Amino acid sequence: MRTSDTTLPGLGKSSERWSVLFQPRRRHKWDRVAVLFVLPWLLHLGIFTFYPLIIALLGSVADWNILTGEMKFVGMKYYAELPTDPLFFKAIRNSFVYLIFQVPSSITGGIFVALLLNQRGIKGRMIFRGIYFLPVIVTGAVLAIIWQWMYSTNSGVLNYFLSLVGVQPMSWLTSERLSMPSIALMKIWTDIGFYGVIFLAALQGIPQEIMDAAQVDGANNWQNLWYVKLPLLNPVIVFSVVMGTLWGLNIFTEPLLMTDGGPMGSSLTTLLYLYHVGFIWSRIGYANAIGVASTLMILLLTFIERRLLERATY
């Protein structure tokens, strides 16, 4: 028998075996090309993520003069100051108040919008999808200015509609009780479209055979939603809750432009407090300590949250 006709288990003919042996060279060539494509992202990650993170870690244990560039090692001085800082804990409390208002409402609203847009009998579904998603593509600064005008005590649209039904004007942004919920309401309106698109894509990915089987078993619309659709949406819900928590704890632009943390610190968030400490009060070292502590807190919270949600849903 000729050598070219010999067959080895799992490899086929010897000619095929030799072709397999030459594959690594081509694969390494494609690997180099892949690295070239990934290189810009790696550079961006290193310059704008890892380098600032290293600087923040070093700056949190040093007294840093940004004008002269001098750094004096002070150890854990700034970290020891955090437990005695009432504004830091107030910013954390406000951030959690924001999360309680914003994340569950946005996700619930997104699911509701997705269920509506997934109905086959609705005409112009693509137009409605664009309308719901439009606030997502508008920058936070523009949205903050628009909603600041809507919340105006004297000339705001919301107070105008309240006056039509005999309700007194409300101080949306100048009240300690309403300032943070008002900012959360604006973000709920913005994020419903984002979550709606995500859940709509997940709903459209459910196999039609599963829906048909539920109908054959006699499930009504409510049972179809509760026992079929929502369980299949659990992975997307977990993702949305975790990402919503991350984004919510990092909110900055909206409270900065709408209230600047006021009144009396009622809308002060951790990131906004870091900005004030570092750039207004020029305490760079303490600002770095706030940033590191907040990052660790967010990572721990999201880890616990993800574990609990996965245990409850899977």
Domains of the chain: residue spans and CATH: 15-59 (no CATH), 78-313 (1.10.3720.10)
The SS3 call for residue 64 is strand
Q: From CA 166, how far away is CA 101, in angstroms rounded?
A: 26
Task: State the pLDDT at residue 29.
Answer: 54
Q: Give the torsion sign (CA, 30, 32, 35, 39).
A: negative
Which residue blocks in the chain are alpha helix, DSSP H?
A: 14-21, 23-45, 51-59, 77-81, 86-117, 125-137, 140-150, 157-164, 179-204, 208-216, 221-224, 230-232, 234-249, 253-258, 270-275, 284-313
CB-based contacts of 170, cutoff 8 Å, min separation 6:
153, 158, 159, 162, 178
Task: State the pLDDT at residue 275.
Answer: 94
Q: Which amino acid is at 102?
A: Q
297, 83 Cβ separation under 8 angstroms: no
* pTM metric for this prediction: 0.80
Considering only residues 24 and 193, tell me which one the structure prediction assigns the higher pLDDT.
Answer: 193
Angle at 238 between CA 234 and CA 241, to 5 degrees: 135
In the predicted model, what is the mean pLDDT of residues 42-55? 88
Q: From CA 129, how far away is CA 142, in angstroms rounded?
A: 21
Q: Flag whether pLDDT at 225 surpasses 90.
A: no
pLDDT digits (tens, 9 = 90+) for 115-133: 888 887 677 777 877 788 8
Listed range (19-33, 35-49, 198-212) with the worst mean pLDDT = 19-33
